[in-house]
Chain A
Amino acid sequence: MTSDANIISFKKRDEMITRETVNYISGLAKLHINEVQAQKFAGDLEAILHYVEKLNSLDVSQVKPTSHVLDMENVFRDDTVKPSLSQEQALAFSVEKLNGAYKVPKVIE
């Protein structure tokens, strides 16, 4: 599945963030925005991308790629059991519950 997953790429310099792009992304993120907002966000995102694009003018050939902002590695925990929440505590966050489970609208498969 990962092989055909696509990361949003902004490769082309002149690529515009259109309202369609904004609507597509907000759809994936389950955000409800109206057309006026979509127009505004398109402009805002475009501006941000152009700003970030300035980085492309720097020579980073000698710079190690950053995968994390903290210069740390190999942070582990041991495989030891810690107390979990009780079912009651866990379900305290639920809007609706049934038979010890979170109850959600029917998911059709």
Chain B
Amino acid sequence: MTTFETVIGLEVHLQLKTKTKIFCGCLNEFGSAPNTNVCPVCLGLPGTLPVLNRRVLEYGMKVGLALNCSINSFVKFDRKNYFYPDLPKGYQISQFDFPIAKLGFLDILVDGKEKRIGITRAHLEEDAGKLIHDTVNACTLVDYNRTGTPLIEIVSEPDLRSSQEAYDYLTGLKLILSYLNVSDCDMEKGSLRCDANVSIRPLGQIKLGTKAELKNLNSFSAVKRAIDFEVARQTTVILSGGSIVQETLLWDEAKGRTVSMRSKEQAHDYRYFPEPDLVPFIIKSDVIENMRQSLPELPQAKLSRFVSAYKLSTYDAGILIQDQSLADFFETCAKSYPDTKKIANWINGPILKEMNERKLGLTQLHLSPLNLVKLITRVEDGTISNIAAKDLLSDIVLTAKDADVLIAEKGIAQVSDDAALEKIVDELLAQNQKTVQEILSGKTTALGFLVGQAMKKTQGKANPKKLNDIFTRRLHHA
């Protein structure tokens, strides 16, 4: 039986979070009342002229550089012509032969080894309007607020060989993009969207098979499931003697299958031509270099640095770098507390738990790095137990109070005063002669009972380890 190889290329559309749209001064905002962020330019009224938002080109350069692309020194825009109600001008301003960036790559881990996924190009374009299908009134409603939202489309080479690789590429890409702070990268809001080109070919064949383009992929896991379904479908078609038709398929999440998009069966012929309303853009090499220098530290570099500078495991560092605010928080703590492993444990354990349970970002928790360091220090110097400290974290998160203030308020400082503890121990030993005899005759587990009694007397404020020590010492000197 023929073994097939899966070939996947991904197209990712990213909405750039500039204040205004790409070619006009309308607010670039999600969730406004319909048709309120529109003007003659983005509505494509006659006689209007687009003017490029400076920041869009800058964001485009950032994305390109972060994905190891070369930035074109000559950039222009082109018209992509098609008729659809979401496109008021009858064409989309996009980039055809001189996009902002080309020929980059992104590394993913496959079976523990790095695999380089090529990035063909990244180009700037305007988003289309939003169509709302009104089944009650059997019509379509059009909201042009999204029209003219700046987009960058990132096109990968067909280098991905499984749905898992596609998933990992998307995860890695999203992490890099989120570091750049140029987009919300939120699939639910549509600020990050993905199409997948999927084909199969007999293993060893060089020529690519006929591809299907999968759309309507609303999450990374949907991308994975849709690819798996499509690969199985294509394999069945070919094995039963059929051939694959090049077409656009919609992923139906509820039914778990791809559906042919009949309305788009006519051949794509977009008749691209240079956009006469926009002059070209020349990007000088020093501008590109300055932009490269201004890029933030990217996830991979941060991971390596955390492992080498803070002696963290790749696993711990890997969790910290998934969220820039976690990584920054960690570094601030590390400035005033030497045990970096302990800080990482606190962040990756209890703090992440608080964030997940409350569905809040780290910055929304009322926890300062210094307060965490204080909390850790209080466990270390025996003031509070580890368990009490975790409870205290929940209080800090809610009240933003200082750890020491809370310890005092709640009266949970452990009694470490030896004299006080010894007095309690002596009393208990005197009151529990029977238990003492049992312990002395070898039943050491009975000691636990005495420690428990002592904890009760101190209302849980005693350090159990210390109590244990005192009991043992007293018993053997009795």
Contact = CB atoms under 8 A, between A and B. Distances in A.
Contacts of A3: 120, 155
A35 interface: no
Contacts of A77: 25, 51-54
A42 to B, nearest CB: 18
Given A1-B268, A28-B271, A73-B282, A98 B76 contact: no
B39 A85 contact: yes
Contact of A84 (B38, B213, B263): B38
Given A5-B80, A77-B51, A82 B138 contact: no
B271 A103 contact: no
B34 A87 contact: yes
Contacts of B391: none
A61 to B, nearest CB: 19
Contacts of B76: 67-68
A100 B35 contact: yes
Given A77-B51, A81-B20, A105-B140, A87 B33 contact: yes
Contact of B132 (A5, A101, A105): A101
A5 B38 CA distance: 30
B131 interface: yes
B35 A90 contact: yes
A17 interface: no
A100 B145 CA distance: 11
A99 B132 CA distance: 11
B464 interface: no
A5 B27 CA distance: 32
A80 B270 contact: no
Contacts, number: 161
A79 B22 CA distance: 9
Given A30-B83, A70-B279, A101-B34, A76 B142 contact: no
B139 A104 contact: yes
B35 A80 contact: no
A90 B139 contact: no
Interface string A70-109: 1011111111111111110011010000111111111111
Interface in B62-84: 74, 76, 80-81, 83-84
B141 A98 contact: yes
A4 interface: yes
> Interface residues of A toward B: which range?
35 or more
Interface in B102-127: 120, 123
Interface in A33-77: 67-70, 72-77
A90 B269 contact: no
A78 B262 CA distance: 42
Contacts of B282: 73-74
B276 interface: yes
B179 to A, nearest CB: 21
Contact of B141 (A2, A28, A99): A99
A107 B134 contact: no
B57 interface: yes
A69 B85 CA distance: 31
A36 B77 CA distance: 37
A76 B51 contact: yes
B279 A80 contact: no
A82 B39 contact: yes
Given A72-B279, A82-B24, A84-B37, A90 B144 contact: yes
Given A82-B39, A84-B26, A90-B35, A106 B57 contact: no
A106 B263 CA distance: 12
A99 B137 CA distance: 12
Contacts of A91: 35
B55 interface: yes
Contacts of B134: 98
A11 B278 CA distance: 27
Interface string B260-292: 011100001111111010111110000000000
B142 A104 contact: yes
B26 A82 contact: yes
A-B pairs, top 3 by smallest CB distance, nearest first, are A82-B25, A101-B141, A76-B54
Given A75-B51, A90-B144, A104-B141, 17 more contacts: A68-B280, A74-B279, A74-B281, A77-B53, A78-B53, A79-B20, A79-B53, A81-B19, A86-B36, A87-B35, A98-B139, A100-B34, A103-B140, A103-B141, A106-B133, A107-B85, A107-B133
Interface of B: 11, 18-20, 24-27, 33-40, 43, 45, 51-55, 57, 74, 76, 80-81, 83-85, 94, 96, 98, 120, 123, 131-134, 137-144, 155, 195, 213, 250, 261-263, 268-274, 276, 278-282
24 contacts: A1-B213, A2-B96, A3-B120, A5-B269, A6-B269, A7-B96, A67-B76, A68-B76, A73-B281, A74-B279, A74-B282, A75-B51, A76-B52, A77-B25, A79-B20, A80-B20, A82-B25, A82-B26, A84-B27, A87-B36, A90-B144, A106-B138, A107-B85, A109-B261
